[in-house]
Amino acid sequence: MIEKFATLKAVAIPLDRGNVDTDAIIPARFLKTIKRTGLGTGLFHAWRFDENGTELPDFVLNMEPYRSGKILVAGENFGCGSSREHAVWALMDFGIRVVIAPSFGDIFYNNGLKNGLLPVRLAPGEVRALMDGLKSGPGGEVSVDLPAQTVTGPDGAVCGFDIGSFPKECLLQGLDEIALTLRLEGEIERYERNGQKKAPWLFLDL
Amino acid sequence: MPTIIRKIWDRHVVTERPDGVCLLYIDRHLVHEVTSPQAFEAMRQAGRKVRRPLSLMAVPDHNVPTSTDRLDRIEDPDSRRQIEALRENAKEAGITLFDMDDVRQGIVHVTGPENGLILPGITAVCGDSHTSTLGAFGAVAFGIGTSEVEHTLATQTLWQTRPGEMRITVGGATGFGVSAKDVILAIIAKIGAGGGTGYAIEYAGEAVRRMSMEERLTICNMTIEAGGRFGMVAPDETTFSYLKGRPASPGGALWESAVADWKTLPTDPDAWFDREETIDASRIEPQVTWGTSPEDSLPVTGVVPDPETHPDPRGRERRERALRYMDLRPGTRLTDITVDKVFIGSCTNARIEDLRLAAKVARGKKVADGVTAMVVPGSGLVKRQAETEGLDRVFLDAGFQWRLPGCSMCLGMNPDRLKPGERCASTSNRNFEGRQGPGGRTHLMSPMMAAAAAVAGRITDVREML
Ligand code: SF4
C-alpha cells in the first residue's frame, strides 16, 4: 500500500556517494523476514556499524542531527542492484521519505513509488549544489513539494522535478493500485481471449 | 520497422494510459522465497486470489543450504520460515513448486529456462533483478519488487513505462580463453554501471549469433549490472533447438505455429534504436574486476588503477574507497592478487557449459594449498548432467567441493559466505561491498578464470593454463 505523500520540510542527509547499491542499503542477511516492518535496524548496516555492532561515528547517519533526517541526498545510480523492496522498507522504517539523486536504479525507483518513498531526480549540477550546501552547512532543511514538483534547498534555491502524473496521484491520495487495475478486468479478459486464439502456446498451463 | 523489443512490448499492451504508461500482460511469473512472502500476505489480507496460478512457478533458491544434509535440517530458523512460507503459499494458490527434494530445484533463472518455461516473444517477471537473464530467448523479462509481485499475482499485468531502446552489437569472434562472461564484463566496463538505466538492450552481432543459449543467458543476466531494464537476444535456430522437447515447451502442431511466429520477432533491418554501441569481441581479453562495482573490470593482463589518474574528483574518491575496501594498492598486477576462496556458481555461470569449461581447466590439477574452492551447480538437472559426464569427479579429484544447487555464495544469505577480509574469485555477478558476506572481497571473472585462480591460488591468466 502506498503511504500518502504531499509536502515535507526536514533535515536532509548528504550521502555523497554514487552507485549506492541495494546490498549496501540492506544486506542480504536482513532479508529473511516475511514482514515489511522492522528493517530500519539493518539500514546501511555495514556503514553504520563495525563487526561488533558498535556505531561508526563518522558515518553520516550516526551524526546529529541526521539521525532524524527524513530526506536523503545521494549520488548517481542510487538503489542500483537487486530488486529487494526491503531497501525501500528499510529507508522508510528509519524515517526517510524522500531520496534526491541525479539517477536511480529503475527497480528501486518503482519500488519507492509503490510504498510512498518519493524518489526525486534532479540534474547532476543541482544535486551537486544541494550536496555541497548541506555539507558546508550541516543540518540544513530541505523542502519537497510534490503538488508543485519542487525541491527548495536551505539557501532558498528552487529546483523543479519530473514525476509521472499517475504515480503522483497515487502518492497524493495513497491509492491502492491493484484495486484500480482490477477495475480493468474486462479488458484483461478480452486480451486473454484474443491471445489464446492468436498465440495459444502462451497459455499452456504449468 | 520495429525492433524486437517494441514488437514484443506492443503485443502485450492490454491498455495504454494517456500518459503513455502501458498495462502489460504478463505471461510467466517466477517466484522465490525472499521477495514473495509479503506479496502473498498482502493478497490474503486484501482477500484477493492469484489470478492465473498455472502461469507461475515457485522455487526456493536464495536461502537453501548447499550441503547434503539440507533436507534433514536448515539451521537458521528465519531461512526455514521463508522456505516454508513459499511452500504454503504455493500450495494454497495452486502454484507449481520445485521443492528442495525435486531434481528441478535450482536458481530460479537457471531452472526456468531449462524446463522450457521461457519462450521467445513472451513477457516474464520475477521478484529478482537478474530476471534479465531470461531475455536470452528473445523475451521481455525483467525484475520487479514485491509490490509488483503482488500486482502481478492479483492481475496478471503490470503498469510499465516504455523503455528506451539500445542495441549493443558485438562484432567478430571471441578469442582463445575468452567466454561470454568476459564479453559482458567488457561491455559493462565500457558503458558503466548506470549506462543502461532506462533502456532495454538488444545484444546483436556476429559474436552473439554464434553464442549458445547458455552463453546468451550469461550475457543477458548481467544486463542489470549496467542498469538496463531488460536485455535480449533475438531467437534463431539456436534458440529453437534448445527449446524443442523441453517439458513446458509447446509440442506437435503448436510447436510449428510457435516457431513460425517466433521467426517474425527479430528486429527489422531498418529499425531505429535510441542508442547504439558496438564492441569488437576479438579485442576482448579475459576480464577481472578489481573494485566494488561490476564496471570496475579490466583485462587480466592489467594493473590495479591509480585513483589519481581519474579525471573527476568524485570518480577519484570512489576508486579510493573501492581500493581501501578491497585492500589493494594502485599498480599491483592483477595476477599478483592471491585468493582465499573460489566460487563457481550463480545464475550467471552455473549452467552445464560453465561447469564443462571450468572442469577443462581443473582436470588433472589441484586446488592450491590454503584455498577453499567450491562448485555449485545452478540446478539439480545441471548437477545430474554434470555427474553423468563425470565432471563432479574432475572437480572432486582436484580438491573442489561439489555442492547442492542454490544461490550459495553469490549473496550472503545462506550458510555459504565469505568471512570479513576474505578474498574470493567468483563467477557471480556482483562485487558490491559485503555482497558475499560482510567484509568479503569479490573479484568477478569467468568460470575458466575462477578455476585457474583456484589452481594457482591467485588471479591467473587462464590462457597460460589451457
Ligand atoms: S544466484 Fe545470485 S544473483 Fe542469481 S538469483 Fe541467486 S542471489 Fe541473485
Write the DSSP string, A36-66: SSSGGGGTTHHHHB-TTS-B-TTSGGGSTTG
Provide φ and ψ at B446, rounded to 5°. -80, 165
A33 alpha carbon – ligand 1 mean position (Å):
18
Q: Kindly state the average pLDDT of the residues B341-347.
A: 98
Q: Kindly state the average pLDDT of the residues A112-126.
A: 97
Q: Kindly state the average pLDDT of the residues B6-35.
A: 97
Instruction: Kindly state the cell numbers that stand for B455.
Output: 589452481
Instruction: Kindly state the cell numbers that stand for B235.
Output: 531467437
Q: Give pLDDT, residue B61.
A: 98
Q: Give pLDDT, residue A70.
A: 98
Q: Give pLDDT, residue B155.
A: 98
Partner-chain residue, chosen from A16, A32, A178, that has the shortest CB–CB distance to B150: A178
d(CA B61, CA B65): 9
> For residue B375, what are the CA distances in angstroms to A120, B319, B343, B382, B448?
42, 31, 6, 12, 12
Cβ B35–A85 below 8 Å, yes or no?
Answer: yes
Cβ B156–A105 below 8 Å, yes or no?
Answer: no
Would the pTM of this model clear 0.80, i.e. be above it? Answer: yes
Q: Which residues of A touch B438 (CB under 8 A)?
A: 27, 45-46, 51
B365 alpha carbon – ligand 1 mean position (Å):
29
The two beta strands, A141-145 and A7-15, are antiparallel
The dihedral over CA atoms of A52, A25, A43, B410, expressed in degrees to the nearest 10, equals -50
Partner-chain residue, chosen from A21, A106, A182, that has the shortest CB–CB distance to B198: A106
Q: Kindly state the average pLDDT of the residues B275-302.
A: 98
d(CA A14, CA A133): 9
Give how far A13 is from chain B: nearest CA, Å. 18
Q: Give pLDDT, residue B336.
A: 98
Q: Give pLDDT, residue B429.
A: 98
Under 8 Å between Cβ of B260 and B248: no
Mean pLDDT for chain B? 97
Q: Give pLDDT, residue B37.
A: 97
Write the single-letter amino acid at A1.
M
What is the set of domains in chain A, with CATH numbers? Answer: 7-198 (3.20.19.10)
Provide φ and ψ at B244, rounded to 5°. -60, 125
B46-93: per-residue pLDDT in tens?
999 999 999 999 999 999 999 999 988 899 999 999 999 999 999 999
Element (H, E) at A108: helix A106-115
What is the number of the ligand 1 atom nearest to the C-alpha of B378?
A: 1
Give how far A142 is from chain B: nearest CA, Å. 23
Cβ A164–B161 below 8 Å, yes or no?
Answer: yes
A170-199: per-residue pLDDT in tens?
999 999 899 999 999 999 999 999 999 999
**A165 and B CB contact within 8 Å:** yes
B107 alpha carbon – ligand 1 mean position (Å):
7
Instruction: Kindly state the cell numbers that stand for B281.
Output: 569481441
Q: Give pLDDT, residue B207.
A: 98
Cβ B194–A76 below 8 Å, yes or no?
Answer: yes
Task: Say whether pLDDT at B232 is over 80.
Answer: yes
Q: Give pLDDT, residue B148.
A: 98
User: Predicted confidence band at A206 (pLDDT cuts at 50, 70, 90)?
Assistant: confident
Cβ A178–B151 below 8 Å, yes or no?
Answer: yes
B264 alpha carbon – ligand 1 mean position (Å):
32
Partner-chain residue, chosen from B85, B144, B255, that has the shortest CB–CB distance to A107: B144
**Least CA distance to A115: which residue of chain B?**
B147
Q: Give pLDDT, residue A117.
A: 97
3-state secondary structure chain B: CCCHHHHHHHHCEEEECCCCCEEEECCEEEECCCCCHHHHHHHHHHCCCCCCHHHEEECCCCCCCCCCCCCCCCCCHHHHHHHHHHHHHHHHHCCEECCCCCCCCECHHHHHHHCCCCCCCCEEEECCHHHHHHHHHCCEEEECCHHHHHHHHHHCEEEECCCEEEEEEEECCCCCCCCHHHHHHHHHHHHCCCCCECEEEEEECHHHHHCCHHHHHHHHHHHHHHCECEEECCCCHHHHHHHCCCCCCCCHHHHHHHHHHHCCCCCCCCCCCCEEEEEEHHHCCCEEECCCCCCCEEECCCECCCHHHCCCHHHHHHHHHHHHHHCCCCCCEHHHCECCEEEECCCCCCCHHHHHHHHHHHCCCCCCCCCEEEECCCEHHHHHHHHHCCHHHHHHHHCCEECCCCCHHHCCCCCCCCCCCCEEEECCCCCCCCCCCCCCEEEECCHHHHHHHHHHCECCCHHHCC
> For residue A20, what are the CA distances in angstroms to B193, B369, B403?
11, 36, 32
Cβ B15–A187 below 8 Å, yes or no?
Answer: yes
What is the number of the ligand 1 atom nearest to the C-alpha of B346?
A: 1
B206-220: per-residue pLDDT in tens?
999 999 999 999 999
Q: Give pLDDT, residue B72.
A: 87
Instruction: Kindly state the cell numbers that stand for B264.
Output: 517474425
Under 8 Å between Cβ of B282 and B175: yes
Q: Give pLDDT, residue B335.
A: 98
Task: Say whether pLDDT at A2 is over 90.
Answer: no
For ligand 1, atom 6: residue with the closest CA = B407
Mean pLDDT for chain A? 96
Q: Kindly state the average pLDDT of the residues B115-143.
A: 98
d(CA B168, CA B234): 12
**Least CA distance to B76: which residue of chain A?**
A32
B359-405: per-residue pLDDT in tens?
999 999 999 999 999 999 999 999 999 999 999 999 999 999 999 99
d(CA B417, CA B399): 19
Q: Which residues of B touch A195 (CB under 8 A)?
A: 25
For ligand 1, atom 2: residue with the closest CA = B410
Cβ A199–B293 below 8 Å, yes or no?
Answer: no
Cβ A23–B38 below 8 Å, yes or no?
Answer: no
What ipTM describes this predicted complex? Answer: 0.96
Give, for ligand 1, the residue of B63, B222, B410 to mutate: max count of ligand atoms closer than 8 Å to Cβ.
B410
Instruction: Kindly state the cell numbers that stand for A142.
Output: 530541505
Q: How far is CA A168 from the centre of its chain?
A: 14
Give, for ligand 1, the residue of B125, B429, B436 to mutate: max count of ligand atoms closer than 8 Å to Cβ.
B429
Q: Kindly state the average pLDDT of the residues B129-158.
A: 98
Q: Measure the N-to-C terminal CA separation of chain B; round to a whole number of Å.
A: 45
Q: Give pLDDT, residue B203.
A: 98
**∠ CA B127-B128-B134 to the nearest 5 degrees?**
105
Give, for ligand 1, the residue of B62, B111, B225 to mutate: max count of ligand atoms closer than 8 Å to Cβ.
B62
Closest C-alpha to A63, from A15, A21, A22, A27: A15
The dihedral over CA atoms of B323, B424, B435, B168, expressed in degrees to the nearest 10, equals 80
B269-285: per-residue pLDDT in tens?
999 999 999 999 999 99
Provide φ and ψ at A30, rounded to 5°. -90, 5
d(CA B99, CA B105): 6
Give how far A18 is from chain B: nearest CA, Å. 8
Cβ B81–A187 below 8 Å, yes or no?
Answer: no
Q: Which residues of B touch A170 (CB under 8 A)?
A: none
What is the number of the ligand 1 atom nearest to the C-alpha of A28?
A: 7
> For residue B291, what are the CA distances in angstroms to B116, B295, B448?
36, 8, 20
**β-pair partners for B29:** B56, B125
> In which residue are the cell numbers 545430474 written?
B384
Q: Kindly state the average pLDDT of the residues B158-169.
A: 98
Q: Which residues line ligand 1 (CB under 6 A)?
A: B 61-62, 107, 109, 128, 130, 346-347, 407, 410-411, 428-429
Q: Give pLDDT, residue A1.
A: 73
Cβ A195–B25 below 8 Å, yes or no?
Answer: yes
Cβ B197–A105 below 8 Å, yes or no?
Answer: yes
Q: Give pLDDT, residue B1.
A: 87
Substitution target in B50, B146, B152, B408 with the highest count of A β-carbons within 10 Å is B146
Query: What region, left, alpha or beta, does residue A182 occupy, with left being phi > 0 and alpha being psi -120 to 50 degrees?
Result: alpha
Task: Say whether pLDDT at B127 is over 90.
Answer: yes
A87-112: per-residue pLDDT in tens?
999 999 999 999 999 999 999 999 99
